[in-house]
């Protein structure tokens, strides 16, 4: 849906820039079009969500009969805040998540998945449900629409100013007034781009603050912050946190970007500890899982660009609220730092910087080549007069040829680093408690278990899946990267795989939550499904080598 509106915005903007002159009226018209599109998206988004997601809408009477513990909180919130009864829905998918959407607090839809009802105890279900009701009573639908509209308006100004400066230049006017106008437009474009980026980061901060407010609402409704804290552990990490021994004995296993309980664009999975025979809580496993959020530099990087706070940060804030309600926190992170140091040492910044370097390696070579070429074209530093650099500038085609071959070899090195060999049998718990892992630094693994749901619950075009073994659950990243391939897999294959026992070969990554990127899936029906995302990366290597050959040809011709 976001992609659809982005394409529509780009199309309308190109048409506007092409036909509208570089005047203040052109800017006002483009701003008006942008505001119109924002309002149109606001008006149509709830309808599109209801259409794309397979939601089983339940009348209030039936909901109250099936889930009286949730209906009790719902009645309390509705009566206290004087709002209309939200529409209630269930997504029949074992991926534990919840979200809310609508136009206002009096036209809200609140949706839970079967996973929430299956893996969380009743108090935790109530806490998650009350969190979503918090978004409703705080009118976050309207607030976040306005907040995210501001960066888009600034981007519109920046793009208009940039293209208007090009338009004024193409008019070939050499007057001082035209020159000053071009400089002014370029200055406006630069300032607007900077403001756009900063306002976007600020809008994400506001989104994370709204999540904290919704967490506080949940704690207030239940008079207990611990319920949401333990629920978040199950949803985000899935580690067993359940003080109800009788309920634990009944179970073998415990466990939309913007207004959901968890951000599906960054929430790449969760793991849970099996109950086992001792019926004891593994706080050590919880702290190992949370240590990534607290101490891995990658966590700070991801939080900056996320709509939701990292789970450990939310749990720590909920622990602080426990003092207000006169209860003791159930989740303790006091030993997390020691457990992290046992795995990864005192600092992980050296590994983070190395990961970033490996991730950007081919791009860095290309930027160096581009910079060298700009210096050559404009002779910015008078390098023509330096004797040992003269051969370089006399053979720029050869320099680019060598550069493309270096880019190709660096791409191979990057792929080998990100897609290591040495696959071993692992469980979800083995993987989710690792701190020394990132989107770049991986653990090659085999997992055996069952596909229990889609990566985005209820979303019919989700090519990713949710996996369960005898120790926990994990997000399965099958995204190939080519839209039509992902679409075909989501429509033809995912539905058939749900409910089947599988063996998965892939690379475990984390960023900011755990997931496994698929290489191969073997199903109990005898089918094998390969993901060629790794092999596809070598296409860029081939392209780089071909461009190198082309540059050598022009070098010979020169």
Scanning 236-310, the segments in alpha helix (DSSP H) are: 245-249, 283-295, 297-304
C-alpha to C-alpha distance for 203 and 48, rounded to whole angstroms? 23
Query: Residues 465, 454: contact at Cβ < 8 Å?
Result: yes
| b/e map 151-166, b = 16+ CB within 10 Å | bbbbbbbbbbbbbbbe
The single residue listed with the structure tokens 């060298």 is 372
C-alpha to C-alpha distance for 34 and 405, rounded to whole angstroms? 44
- Residue 118: CA atoms inside 13 Å, Cβ hemisphere, count? 18
CA 554 from chain center: how many Å?
43
Q: List own/partner pairs for 244-252 with CB under 8 A and 24 or more apart.
A: 244/121, 245/279, 247/121, 248/275, 248/279, 249/275, 249/279, 251/275
Q: Check if 61 is active-site.
A: no
CA 238 from chain center: how many Å?
18
C-alpha to C-alpha distance for 213 and 542, rounded to whole angstroms? 51
Q: From the candidates 132, 211, 216, 351, which is the catalytic residue?
A: 132
* Omega cis (within 30) before 31: no
Query: Residues 288, 435: contact at Cβ < 8 Å?
Result: yes
Give catalytic residues, as residue numbers: 132
């Amino acid at each position: 849906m976001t992609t659809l509106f982005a394409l529509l915005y780009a199309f309308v903007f190109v048409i506007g820039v092409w036909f509208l002159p570089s005047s203040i009226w052109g800017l006002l018209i483009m701003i008006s079009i942008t505001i119109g599109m924002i309002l149109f998206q606001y008006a149509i988004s709830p309808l599109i969500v209801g259409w794309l997601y397979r939601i089983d809408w339940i009348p209030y009477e039936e909901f109250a009969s099936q889930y009286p513990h949730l209906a009790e909180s719902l009645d309390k919130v509705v009566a206290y805040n004087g709002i209309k009864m939200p529409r209630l829905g269930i997504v029949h998918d074992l991926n534990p998540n919840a979200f809310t959407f609508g136009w206002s607090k009096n036209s809200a839809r609140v949706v839970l998945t079967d996973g929430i009802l299956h893996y969380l105890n009743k108090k935790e279900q109530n806490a998650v449900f009350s969190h979503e009701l918090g978004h409703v009573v705080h009118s976050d639908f309207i607030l976040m629409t306005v907040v995210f509209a501001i960066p888009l308006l600034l981007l519109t100004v920046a793009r208009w100013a940039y293209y208007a400066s090009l338009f004024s230049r193409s008019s070939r006017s050499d007057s001082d007034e035209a020159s000053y106008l071009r400089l002014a437009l370029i200055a406006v474009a630069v300032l607007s781009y900077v403001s756009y980026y900063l306002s976007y980061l600020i809008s994400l901060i506001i989104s994370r603050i709204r999540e904290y407010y919704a967490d506080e609402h949940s704690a207030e409704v239940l008079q207990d912050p611990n319920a949401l804290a333990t629920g978040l552990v199950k949803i985000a990490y899935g580690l067993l946190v359940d003080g109800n021994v009788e309920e634990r004995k009944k179970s073998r296993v415990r466990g939309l970007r913007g207004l959901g309980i968890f951000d599906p664009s960054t929430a790449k999975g969760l793991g849970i500890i099996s109950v086992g025979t001792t019926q004891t809580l593994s706080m050590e496993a919880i702290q190992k899982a949370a240590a990534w959020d607290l101490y891995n530099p990658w966590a700070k990087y991801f939080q900056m660009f996320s709509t939701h706070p990292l789970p450990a940060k939310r749990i720590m804030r909920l622990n602080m609220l426990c003092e207000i309600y006169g209860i003791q926190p159930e989740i303790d992170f006091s030993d997390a730092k020691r457990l992290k140091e046992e795995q990864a040492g005192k600092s992980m910044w050296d590994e983070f910087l190395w990961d970033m370097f490996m991730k950007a390696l081919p791009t860095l070579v290309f930027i160096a080549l581009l910079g060298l070429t700009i210096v050559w074209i404009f002779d910015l530093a008078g390098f023509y007069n330096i004797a040992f650099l003269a051969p370089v500038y006399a053979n720029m085609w050869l320099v680019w040829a060598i550069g493309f071959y270096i880019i190709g070899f660096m791409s191979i090195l990057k792929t080998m680093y990100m897609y290591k060999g040495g696959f071993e049998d692992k469980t979800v718990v083995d993987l989710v408690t690792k701190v020394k892992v990132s989107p770049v630094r991986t653990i090659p693994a085999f997992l055996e278990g069952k596909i229990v749901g889609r990566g985005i619950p209820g979303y019919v075009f989700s090519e990713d899946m949710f996996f369960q073994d005898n120790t926990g659950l994990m997000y399965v990243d099958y995204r190939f990267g080519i839209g039509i391939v992902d679409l075909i897999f989501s429509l033809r294959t995912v539905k058939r795989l749900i409910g089947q026992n599988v063996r998965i070969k892939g690379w475990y990554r984390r960023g900011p939550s755990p997931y496994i990127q698929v290489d191969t899936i073997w199903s109990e029906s005898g089918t094998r499904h390969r993901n060629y995302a790794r092999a596809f990366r070598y296409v860029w290597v081939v392209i780089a080598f071909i461009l190198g050959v082309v540059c050598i040809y022009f070098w010979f011709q020169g």
